[in-house]
Structures are given as C-alpha cells and as structure tokens.
C-alpha cells in the first residue's frame, strides 16, 4: 500500500515535472478537465433545481376542499402583456387566520399587492409602461424565493374585495407534488444537448490525460529500464493522469462556484434558476469527484495497453501497430440501427422509449473518436507527399497518427454534436415560425368575461379603447356529444361570424361546423349535445362544413338557427386597428378595472420576436459552448504540436542546419495539423448531419439545414488550424536555432 | 564461476537476423568489451543479456537463475537490484533533477527519500558531478549527463553494469574520463561491466573483449 | 620515463619475403620468375622484387627444407628451376599467419600480405585479423593501465602510442569488414 502511494506520488512528481513546459501541460489539462468538471457539476445540479422548482410549484397550488366555510377566496389571473404573462392570484381573506400563500407574509388587503422582483422591475421600467394600468394597487411587498418558480417569473398576489364566493374557495396552500411532464420534443432536445455537451467533456478528459503521450512513453521506458515492473509503471502513469484530473477537479469546482451566482441572469425563464439552488446532489457530486480521476486513469491505462512500455523504448522507436477496423465500426452501426428503429415512434404526446434514443446518440458520438484513429491512419497511409513539406507531415503522421487523431476526435465530437443541435433547432424554429406567421394575420383580441361579470360594462369600456375599431359579441355554450367528444357552440349574427371564419354566403338560419385538425367536422346534423351547465340536450340541425381558421372552433350558429339554445357565456371579439401599435395592450388597459373578471387572448399577438429571442439565446449558448470546447480542443492541439516540435527538435534542427528552408518546415507543421483536422471535420459534418436527420426523423419533424451555422463552425475550425500552427512557429524557430542541436 | 552466461542466442526482427547463435560468458567483476562492426548485433546481444529483450531462442543465466525463463516482474526486480545501465543517451528521466534521477532506483526499491538522496549525492560526488545535482538532465553537458547516468547505474551496488556506447556522444577526453570513472568505480565495488563500443581506446579499459560478427560472438581470451 | 621499447618506429620494410613466397607456392609449384611476377602483382606495387632477392630467399628456404626443387626444364640458368613447398614449409606459413605481429605502427604491409595469402590459401583471413586486433588491444590495454597509473608525461606518451595503435586497429576493423570483397578480388 505504501508502495502504491509512493508510486502514485512519483507519477504526480513526473507530471508537475518542474519545467515550465510541464506546468503548462498540467495547467492545460487542468483547464480542459476543469471546464468539463464545471459542466458536469451544472448538469448534476439539474435534479436539485428541478426538484426545488417542482416543490415550490406544488407549494403554491390551491387546496380547494376543506371543512367548514372557506377562510380565503382566490381568483387566478394571467395578464397577457405582449408575449409575456404576469400570472398571479387576486385574494380576499374572509377570516383573520386565512392561509397565507408561500413567499409573502400576509394576505394582501383590498387594493394591496405583492409583486415578484421581476414583475416589479418590469413595472418600473419604461418597457412596462403599458402594463402599469393593470396594476393600480399599492405595492406592499415583494414575493420571496419560496413563492417563485424561477427568478425571472412575473407573478403577483393582489387583494381584491370584489371577489364573491363561488367555486374559488381556498382552504390552504400546497398539495403533494406530482411528476411534471416534459414535452417529448423538448425532452429529446435536452437529451441530445446533454449528450452533446457532456460527451466531448468525457472525450476531452481522455484526450487531456494523454497529451504528450510519446514523451511520456519514453519517460516511462526510462523507468522500466531502471527496473520498474510493468505494473508499477502503469501505477506511475496513473499518478501522472491523476495529477491532471485533480487539477481539473479543483479548477472545475472553482469555475462552478464562480459562475453559479450568475445563473439567475439567464434570460430564458425556464433556464434561469436561483443560485442557492444550483447545488449538485451529493450522490452526483461524489460521482463526478470519483469518475473524473477514474476516467483519467482508465483512459491512460487503456491507451497504454497498446503501447507496451518496454525498457527498450529508451533507445528504439516501436513500430506502430496497424489498427483494425471491424470493432471500430460497431458503435456507429449499432447507434444508427438503434436510432432507425425509433423512427416514427415519437408523437406529440407520447414520450418515446428513451433508452434506445439515448444509447443510439451516445453510440454514434462514441463512434467518432473510435473510428477516427483508424481513418486518419488509412488516409495518411494512402497519401503521398507531393511537396517536401507534405511528405514530412505525412511521414510523421504515418509514424504517430494516434495522438493527432485523438485530439481531433474531441473536436469532431463537438462539431458533430453542434451540427446536430443546430439542425434540430433549425427544424423546430422553422415550425414555430410558420405557426406564428399564420397567427399574425389576425388582429382580434378575444375577451372572455368570467361567469357573472358585467359583460355589458366590459364591452362599453372596450369601445373606448385606443385602436378598437369594432366589437363582435359571440354567445357561447359548451357541451358533450353522445360520441364522447366536447364541442363549443358559438351563436352570433353573420356579421360577427364572417369576421372569425371564412363562411361563403352566410345567411341567418344556417349553422356551420368547423373541420377539425383530424379532418372531421366538429359535429354533424343529428348529433345530440348535452350541456354541462344545465344538463339540457340539443340536437344539431343541418350544418355546412367549413374550413377552420383557428380562431373559433366547434359550431358556428346564426341566431335563427339557435332556437332552443340557451347560451352560457359570452366572448367578445375586439377588432383592432393594425396601424395602432400595441393596440391590444391599450384595449386591455381599457378594461383594467375588471382585473380578474376578464380573460383576454390576443390572436394576432406577434410571438415571432419571442421565439426569435429564445432561439437566439439557445443558438448563442450552443455556439458559445461549442466554441469553448473547440478552443479547449485547439489548446490541446497546440500542446500536441508544441510537444511534437520539442520531441523532434533535433531532426528539425538538423534539417534547418542543412539548409531546409524554415518555410518548408512551417508548412509541414501546418499540414500535420490540417490533415487530421480536415478528416475529422469531414467525418463530424457527415456524422452530425446524419445524426441530425435521424433524430429529426425520430421526432417526425421537417429536416432543415442550418448551413450558415455549419459554415461558421467549419470556418472556425480552419481558422483554429492556422492559429495553432502560427502559435507553434516561435517554438519551431527556437528549435531550429542553435540550441536545437542539444540533446534531451 | 560465471556470473552471466548466454548460449545460442538468436533474435530476428522481421527478415533481419540480428543474432544467430551468439554466446558470451561474463565473470564477476570483469570488464568485457563487446566489439564488432556496426549492425553486427552488439546492442541486441546486450539487450538480451540484460533481460530487456527476450531472445527468440537460447538461454541467459544469471548465476544459477535462468533469466530467459523469468517473468517481467522478476526481470524488473533484477534490473533494479542487480543491474545498472548506461546508454549513449536517453536513459535519464528529463523531468527529474539529476539528483532525483540517481535516487530513482533506490526509491523504486522502497528506500526513504532522504536516504536515497543522500546516497545519490554521494555517488554524484564520486563521479565529480555534484555541481549539477539540482539541474535537470537537459541542462547539463553531455559528459556530465553521462556521469550522472553512471552514478545512477552504480548507486544500487549492482553486480553487472551494461553500457552501450556510453561515450558515443562524447569527445575523447570526456569519453575517457567517463570510462575511467566507470571502470574504477566498478572495480571498487566489484561490479562486472559489459561494454559495447566500437572505439578501441574505450575498449582498452576492458579486461578482455568479445567480437560480434554477423550475429555470432567470439570470445577472445587473452592473457591478462 | 619507463616506456622505452613500447613504441619503435619501424623504418625497414617489415614484410617477410620468405613467408610471402612460401604462401604463394602453396597453390602449386612455380618457377622463380613466376614467383617474382606473382609477388609483384600482389604486394610489390611500388617496390618490385629484384631477381637476386628472389633467388637468395629461395636458396635460404631450400637450405631450411621449406621448399624443394620440383624439376628443371631444358635450358640454362636458375629461372628454369621449379620450386615446390614442403610440409615443413606449410607448417611454417601456418605458424606465421596465426602469430600476431608485434603491435607496432606501419604494419599494414605485412598484415595485408598475411590477409591476401590467407585468402589465397583458403584460410580464414578474419581469424588473422582478429588475432592481430587482440594483440593490438592487449597492448592498448597495457598502455591504458600505465596511463591511468602514470603521471601527465606518461599519459601524453601513452596517448600518442594509443592513438597510433587505434588507427591500426581501425584499419584492421575496416579490412575485416571488407574481407569478402577482398577475397573476390584476390581469387579472381
Ligand atoms: N527494433 C528493431 N527493429 C528492427 N530491426 C532491428 C531492431 N533492433 C535491431 N535491429 C536490427 O538488428 C541488427 C543488429 O542491430 P544492433 O543494434 O544490435 O547492432 P549493433 O551491433 O549494436 O550496431 P551499432 O554498432 O551500429 O550500434 C541490425 O541489422 C538492426 O537493423
Ligand atoms: Mg548498437
């Protein structure tokens, strides 16, 4: 045991080496692995963040049942404001000990309001000017973290004496939490995102521990020569990797705690979180702390399985072993097969069997770094150097294509993942935008007064609103068909109906049935509707089937055809002047006095900006993430290139001394970096696009290509190649200088 | 009584037959020069003798133990405790200081750092290179580096020192200095030296020579 | 200064003509004139033998019983006599070949002759060279020992000798490396 520790310590000693170069190597490993560790820690915090969020959400659910009279009345209301929603409760305490909702210290009295910090900020800012009329109450406090789902949530608790007892009794707050479902597509997107983000991290941890492998092999050979047995050399090598992994852990925790305070600034609500909650679960933290060093040690041991470190390595270069291809193809083939088997299995609601998809993606991603060394070897083997520079590069790559392939393997995974994500984003984005475009054609605000609200008063208030050109009242009723389906009945004169649907020659006395997305009309003549509120039954008269436009579903019935039908509610369609900016907000403000009593929905609301913003943020985050990873990969490429120059200092110096122009040597360095990178870029683009197509097929969405993004990433890779080569030039100059001819 | 005895060694690298039935006997404490034309298999013979390269056939005995039948662990142990190595270059670990390099075999054998470094400093002194103790090998001259390597080969008190062109990269004055220090120290500690060289003046530090030609060796015994 | 005799510059031709002629006779009886021609061809590039030298050497060898007359052809003069090597002669050649020359500089003529004669008679030239290198190395070893134990003057004198001997040894090695090539040329 003591010997094991002392061997590990010797490995650590070798890793820190003492020279500036080995410190630089260690620092690079530390930063590289550290970035990975930080990412892993954030990922490991997700469960606690989601957990806490779900808990808080459950804690502010209303308990509607209880003994005796209700102590509190509550009306839920969502104030739409442009593309945001300020959602909260209007409350009326009936007893002094009425239950207080989480996040505030008392139930607000009449005309008082508690705001969430984000809503308070919005109302204070010029941006929130048009929202202010809807919150005339006196602000008496801020909702604390306990009452918020996320730091950017727009929410409030207002007191209102107008609330009448109805079915809005509150006996308490907080229900047992139930598992929240995630949209399957979103879920898949996150799975791919996580895999794509985390997998390169793992690859990089592997690569980082194997930086300067050739030099390490020589160093270990020297140890073998003085009589360290193979097992001990492995232990010492493990010690070396351990040093890098430990440095990485320290850096990683540093980055994690450094970045954590800023997570509440993330502008996408769903992604923002309270810093105090971003805490990896103990089990996952432990996993990271253990897994990273273990991974580092295991990869370096696995890598050493190939290059048996023999004492003779001191004097002779081992001939590299030819790589075999068959097992390298296994992950790729298996991954593709798994994904193909899932095509069409995911629908809008049904969660796909997650494991085949996850495994498929992981396997395909894994296939890249596994296949690349073989591919680079084969390609390089077939290449012939036309120019002396290319020949030098090719010959070197033939001798040691592994190191280069490993480094670019990391790059390739990032690239492939980025391309895939970009494609998925592009696909989803296209769909969302198409939908938004379709809706943007409507300029109606649909207003639904609550049961018992003063509909006439509301209508009168609306008429005075800025930008309001007309009002159409539609009486409504809801009922169940005998077939089990639900149907909405809309009763209005033709003048109102034709504004909401395309009805060819509408005449009073006719009824129309809107074709639903299933292709069938909402109801047919002879169907019997049972009304929920009264229990009465009504037979559907002859109907004409019309194409729906989305704004009113169900049956459209002219007053003459609605005989015997007692409407239950009213919906007011407010026609707005498209020329007046924010007409919808002005209209909403016009009826601000009715606060919780009315619900409005703006069909023409232009959400494309919002979609653009969300996608923009996601795209930027993705780009930043992949750039960061690419930078790390470039940094490791740089280290490898520098090590190469260092390792081959003598031959380089001899060549320079014997008159080989430095330009030739520099170009050979460029080729050395460019050839593997070109191969890996090609492979990763192919894999990325292939994976993208497969995953999109699995979702069942349109395939779209984000050529600009792909081009950008490819351009960056090319740029990095040049940058890395340029950064190696000073050391090449030094190596080819007089000092280069020294040994060791 | 022979210390190290090899018989009928053959070794091929692909189509190259490096050794074709070579044999050699080393007695305790003697300095034997292995000479012969380039490519004749001298280095290969040395590597086989030292157990760092397994021969295709033939046997190597160290005392009454058969080296060629040992496993890697045993051979490693033997290298650590009984053998020492001096090559033309490359045997020092560039990341460690000269002192740490010399102390390395002792530490691998489990000696405490302080004791190991004391012994190492002592040997550096005997080889007149205590001045470079805290420098790394890359910062020393070729001659100093070789003397550090000799110190490291001798520090464990080995029975055999294998030296392959130890002076190959040095000028004649430095080369002879290294040879003088090496042979003197070896004679003082009773270590045998197997010395591969093609420099007659270096070979002249030996007690006798073995000539390798085309993978076959010939003992040339000459009256002392 | 205790190094006299270690190093004597030989100005005289160290070559033993007698052994050379014996060696040449090993491949079959020859006339004196033939012998001179064969000798000149192989060893006498810049210094051909006089007839007188040939005949005086032959008569010495005859007297010592190393050669015999193997018949006389018609005509006058010694050039008509044919000589053949005796068993004693063969033994003498063998002994000569296997005895290393005293390690001294400028031995190449003798050594070269030995190598050529060994090759001509199908003996191992490598062995001749190895024997010689052993002798050289033994001397070098002796000198090295003296050098290591001696003062600076000893060291300098020994080094002078060592460098010269080293040059010879290098020549020996080089020749050894080219023995096969030489064999082809001599026996052609
Ligand atoms: N690892 C190897 N792979 C292939 N061939 C080898 C290897 N090691 C030695 N050889 C070949 O074996 C033969 C003997 O090599 P070795 O190094 O023993 O010669 P040497 O006598 O030490 O030569 P030199 O004096 O030049 O060092 C050579 O032809 C060499 O090419
Ligand atoms: Mg060699």
Domain map of chain C by residue range? 17-98, 110-186
Q: Residue A437's pLDDT band (boundaries 50, 70, 90)?
A: low
B18 lines ligand 1 (CB under 6 A): yes
- pLDDT > 70? residue A608: no
Residue ranges covered by each domain of chain B? 1-82+192-224
Which positions in chain A touch B79 (Cβ < 8 Å)? 225-227, 311
Lowest-confidence region among A524-538, A638-652, A665-679, C15-29: A638-652
Chains C and A contact (Cβ–Cβ under 8 Å for 3 or more pairs): no
For the segment A496-508, the average pLDDT, to the nearest whole number, is 79
Question: Can you give the length of chain A in residues?
Answer: 744
In this structure, of A67-76, A313-322, A514-523, the range with the lowest mean pLDDT score is A313-322
Instruction: Give the pLDDT score at A177.
Output: 65
The side-by-side arrangement of strands in the sheet containing B16-27 is: B16-27, B2-13, B57-62, B65-66
Per residue in A158-194, pLDDT tens? 888 888 777 678 888 877 766 555 555 556 666 666 6
How much is the ipTM here? 0.80
| Residue among B43, B85, B110 whose CB faces A3 most closely | B110
pLDDT category of residue A421 using cuts at 50, 70 and 90: confident
CB pairs under 8 A between B and C: 45
pLDDT single digits (tens) C42-89: 776 667 788 888 888 888 888 888 888 887 766 665 557 888 889 988
For strands A468-481 and A486-491, give the pairing. antiparallel
Chain C contact partners (≥3 CB pairs within 8 A): B
Report the separation in Å between the CA atom of A743 and the middle of ligand 1, taken as the mean of its atom positions.
22
Inter-axis angle of helices C32-42 and C17-25, to 10 degrees? 110
Query: How confident is the model over A624-637, as pLDDT tens digits?
Result: 777 766 776 677 67
What are the tens digits of pLDDT across the range A571-586?
A: 888 877 777 777 777 8
User: Residue A706 class from Cβ within 10 Å (0-12 exposed, 13-18 middle, 19+ buried)?
Assistant: buried
Which of A313, A314, A316 for mutating ligand 1's site (highest number of atoms within 8 Å of CB)?
Answer: A316
Q: Which CATH number applies to C17-98: 1.10.287.810, 3.10.20.30, 1.10.10.10, 3.90.1170.50?
A: 1.10.10.10
> What does the block give as tokens for C9?
């510059």
Region A290-312: mean pLDDT is 74
pLDDT at A743 over 60: no
C-beta atoms surrounding A107 within 10 Å: 25
User: Chains meeting B at 3+ CB pairs closer than 8 A?
Assistant: A, C
B192-196/B31-35 β-pairing: parallel
Listed in sequence order, the residues at least 6 apart from B210 whose beta carbon sits closer than 8 Å to its beta carbon are B24, B32, B33, B34, B35, B217, B218, B219, B220
Each residue's pLDDT tens digit, B70-113: 887 888 888 888 998 888 876 788 778 899 889 888 888 888 88
Query: What is the CB neighbour count within 10 angstroms for residue B188?
Result: 10
How much is the pLDDT for A519?
67
Which of A18, A218, A219, A222 is the mutation pick for testing B, counting most B CBs within 10 A? Answer: A222
Residue B133 pLDDT > 80: yes
Min Cα separation B4/chain C (Å): 22
- Is the per-residue pLDDT at C154 higher than 80? yes
Interface test with B, best of A3, A223, A226, A317 (most B CBs within 10 A): A226
Report pLDDT digits (tens) over A210-267: 666 666 777 788 888 887 877 888 888 888 888 888 888 999 999 999 988 888 777 6
* Among protein residues, the one whose CA lies closest to atom 6 of ligand 1: B13
**Structure confidence at residue C8 as a pLDDT band (50, 70, 90):** very low
What pLDDT score was predicted for residue A94? 84
CB–CB of C176/C129 below 8 Å?
Answer: yes
Average pLDDT over residues A593-605: 72
Give pLDDT tens digits for A85-136. Answer: 888 888 888 888 888 888 888 888 888 899 999 888 888 988 888 888 888 8
Which 3-state string (H, E, C) describes chain B? Answer: CEEEEEEEEEEEECCEEEEEEEEEEEECCCEEEEECCCCCCHHHHHHHHCCCCCCCEEEEEECCEEHHHCCHHHHHHHHHHCEEEECCCCCCCCCCCHHHHHHHHHHHCCCCHHHHHHHHHHHHHHCCCHHHCCCCHHHCCHHHHHHHHHHHHHCCCCCEEEEECCCCCCCHHHHHHHHHHHHHHHHHHCCEEEEECCCHHHHCCCCEEEEEECCEEEEECCCC
Q: From the CB of residue A67, how many other CB atoms can be counted at a distance below 10 Å?
A: 5
Select the CATH number that applies to the domain covering B1-82+192-224 from these four: 3.40.50.300, 3.90.110.10, 3.10.180.10, 3.40.50.2300: 3.40.50.300
pLDDT band at A427 (very low <50, low <70, confident <90, very high): confident
User: If you average pLDDT over residues A612-619, what whole number do you get?
Assistant: 68
Query: Is the model's pLDDT at A597 over the cut of 60?
Result: yes
Question: At A319, is the pLDDT very low, low, confident or very high (cuts 50, 70, 90)?
Answer: low
Is chain B adjacent to chain A, meaning 3+ CB pairs within 8 angstroms?
A: yes
Q: What is the pLDDT of residue A268?
A: 65
Give residue A439's pLDDT band: very low, low, confident or very high (50, 70, 90): low
**pLDDT at residue A346, rounded to an integer:** 57
What residues of B are in the A interface, CB distance below 8 Å? 43, 47, 52-53, 72-73, 76-81, 83, 85, 87-97, 100, 104-105, 107-110, 136-138, 142, 145, 152, 164, 169
Residue A58 clears pLDDT 80, i.e. is over it: yes
The DSSP-derived string for C108-132 is HHHHHHHHHHHHHTT--HHHHHHHH
A656 and A662 in contact (C-beta within 8 Å)? Answer: yes
SS3 content of chain C, % helix, strand, coil (to 5): 65, 5, 30
């Amino acid at each position: 045991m003591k010997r094991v520790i002392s061997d590990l310590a010797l490995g650590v000693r070798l890793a820190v080496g003492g020279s500036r170069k080995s410190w630089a190597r260690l620092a690079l490993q530390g930063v590289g692995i550290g970035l990975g560790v930080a990412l892993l820690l954030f990922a490991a915090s997700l469960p606690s963040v989601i957990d806490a969020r779900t808990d808080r959400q459950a804690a502010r659910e209303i308990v509607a049942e209880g003994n005796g009279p209700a102590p509190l009345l509550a009306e839920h209301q969502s104030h739409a404001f442009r593309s945001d929603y300020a959602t909260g409760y209007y409350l009326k305490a009936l007893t002094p000990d009425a239950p207080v909702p989480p996040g505030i210290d008392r139930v607000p009295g009449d005309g008082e309001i508690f705001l969430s910090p984000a809503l308070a900020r919005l109302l204070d800012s010029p941006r929130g000017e048009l929202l202010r009329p809807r919150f005339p109450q006196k602000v008496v406090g801020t909702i604390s973290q306990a009452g918020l789902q996320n730091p950017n949530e727009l929410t409030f608790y207002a007191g209102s004496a107008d609330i009448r007892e109805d079915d809005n009794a509150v006996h308490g707050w907080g229900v047992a939490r139930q598992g929240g479902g995630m949209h399957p597509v979103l879920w898949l997107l996150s799975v791919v995102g996580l895999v794509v983000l985390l997998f390169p991290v793992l690859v990089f941890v592997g690569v980082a521990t194997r930086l300067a492998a050739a030099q390490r092999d020589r160093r270990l050979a020297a140890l073998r020569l003085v009589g360290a047995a193979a097992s001990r050399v492995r232990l010492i090598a493990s010690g070396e990797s351990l040093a890098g992994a430990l440095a990485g852990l320290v850096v990683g925790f540093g980055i994690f705690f450094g970045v954590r305070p800023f997570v509440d600034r993330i502008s996408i609500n769903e992604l923002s979180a309270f810093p105090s909650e971003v805490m990896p679960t103990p089990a996952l933290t432990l996993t990271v702390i253990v897994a990273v060093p273990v991974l580092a040690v295991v990869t370096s041991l696995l890598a050493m399985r190939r290059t048996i470190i023999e004492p003779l390595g001191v004097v002779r270069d081992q001939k590299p072993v030819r790589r075999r291809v068959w097992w390298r193809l296994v992950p790729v083939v298996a991954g593709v097969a798994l994904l193909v088997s899932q095509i069409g299995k995911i629908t809008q609601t049904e969660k796909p069997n997650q494991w085949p998809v996850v495994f498929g993606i992981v396997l395909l991603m894994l296939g890249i770094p596994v296949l690349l060394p073989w591919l680079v070897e084969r390609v390089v083997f077939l290449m012939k150097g036309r120019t002396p520079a290319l020949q030098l590069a090719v010959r070197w790559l033939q001798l040691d294509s592994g190191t280069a392939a490993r480094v670019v393997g990391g790059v390739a995974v990032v690239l492939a993942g980025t391309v895939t994500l970009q494609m998925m984003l592009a696909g989803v984005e296209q769909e969302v935008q198409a939908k938004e475009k379709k809706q943007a054609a409507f300029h109606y605000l649909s207003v639904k007064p609550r049961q018992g609200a003063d509909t006439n008063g509301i209508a009168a208030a609306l008429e005075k609103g800025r930008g309001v050109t007309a009002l159409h009242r539609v009486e409504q009723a809801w009922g169940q068909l005998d077939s089990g389906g639900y149907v909405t009945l809309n009763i209005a004169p033709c003048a109102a109906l034709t504004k909401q649907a395309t009805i060819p020659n509408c005449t009073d006395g006719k009824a129309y049935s809107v074709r639903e997305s299933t292709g069938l009309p909402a109801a047919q003549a002879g169907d019997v509707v049972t009304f929920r509120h009264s229990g009465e039954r009504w037979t559907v008269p002859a109907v004409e089937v019309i194409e729906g436009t989305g704004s009113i579903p169900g049956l459209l019935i002219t007053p003459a055809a609605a005989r015997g039908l007692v409407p239950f509610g009213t919906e007011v369609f407010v026609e707005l002047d498209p020329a007046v900016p924010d007409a919808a907000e002005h209209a909403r403000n016009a009826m601000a006095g009715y606060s919780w009593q009315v619900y409005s929905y703006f069909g023409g609301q232009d959400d494309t900006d919002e979609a653009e913003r969300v996608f923009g943020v996601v795209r930027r985050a993705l780009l930043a993430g992949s750039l960061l990873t690419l930078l790390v990969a470039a940094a490791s490429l740089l280290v490898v290139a520098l090590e190469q120059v260092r390792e081959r200092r003598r031959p380089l110096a001899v060549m320079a001394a014997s008159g080989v122009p430095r330009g030739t040597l520099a170009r050979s360095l460029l080729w050395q970096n460019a050839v593997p990178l070109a191969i890996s870029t090609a492979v990763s683009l192919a894999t990325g696009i292939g994976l993208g197509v497969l995953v999109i097929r699995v979702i069942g969405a349109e395939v779209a290509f984000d050529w600009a993004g792909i081009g950008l990433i490819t351009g960056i890779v090319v740029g990095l190649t040049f940058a890395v080569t340029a950064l190696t030039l000073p050391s090449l100059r030094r190596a080819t200088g007089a000092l280069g001819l020294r040994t060791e | 009584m022979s210390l190290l005895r090899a018989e009928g060694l053959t070794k091929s690298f692909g189509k190259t037959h490096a050794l074709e039935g070579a044999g050699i006997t080393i007695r305790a404490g003697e300095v034997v020069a292995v000479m012969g034309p380039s490519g004749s298999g001298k280095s290969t013979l040395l590597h086989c003798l030292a157990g760092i390269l397994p021969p295709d056939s033939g046997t190597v005995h160290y005392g009454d133990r058969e080296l060629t039948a040992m496993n890697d662990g045993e051979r490693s142990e033997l290298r650590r405790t009984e053998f020492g190595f001096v090559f033309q270059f490359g045997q020092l670990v560039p990341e460690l200081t000269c002192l740490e390099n010399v102390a390395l075999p002792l530490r691998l054998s489990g000696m405490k750092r302080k004791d190991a470094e004391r012994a190492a400093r002592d040997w550096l002194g005997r080889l007149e290179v205590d001045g470079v103790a805290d420098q790394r090998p890359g910062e020393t001259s070729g001659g100093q580096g070789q003397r550090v390597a000799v110190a490291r080969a001798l520090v464990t008190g080995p029975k055999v020192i294998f030296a392959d062109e130890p002076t190959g990269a040095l000028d004649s004055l430095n080369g002879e200095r290294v040879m003088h220090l090496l042979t003197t120290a070896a004679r003082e500690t009773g270590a045998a030296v197997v010395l591969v060289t093609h420099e007659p003046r270096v070979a002249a530090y030996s007690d006798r020579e073995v000539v390798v030609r085309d993978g076959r060796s010939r003992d040339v015994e000459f009256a002392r | 200064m205790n190094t006299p005799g270690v190093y004597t510059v030989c100005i005289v031709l160290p070559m033993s003509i007698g052994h050379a002629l014996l060696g040449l006779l090993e491949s079959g009886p020859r006339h004196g004139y033939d012998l001179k021609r064969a000798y000149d061809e192989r060893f006498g590039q810049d210094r051909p033998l006089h007839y007188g030298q040939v005949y005086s050497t032959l008569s010495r060898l005859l007297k010592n019983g190393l050669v015999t007359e193997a018949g006389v052809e018609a005509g006058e003069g010694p050039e008509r006599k044919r000589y053949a090597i005796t068993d004693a002669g063969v033994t003498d050649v063998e002994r000569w070949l296997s005895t290393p020359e005293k390690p001294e500089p400028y031995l190449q003529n003798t050594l070269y002759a030995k190598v050529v004669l060994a090759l001509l008679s199908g003996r191992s030239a490598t062995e001749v060279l190895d024997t010689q290198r052993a002798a050289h190395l033994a001397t070098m070893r002796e000198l090295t020992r003296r050098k290591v134990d001696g003062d600076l003057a000893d060291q300098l004198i020994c080094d002078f000798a060592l460098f010269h001997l080293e040059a010879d040894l290098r020549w020996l090695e080089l020749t050894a490396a080219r023995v096969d090539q030489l064999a082809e040329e001599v026996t052609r």
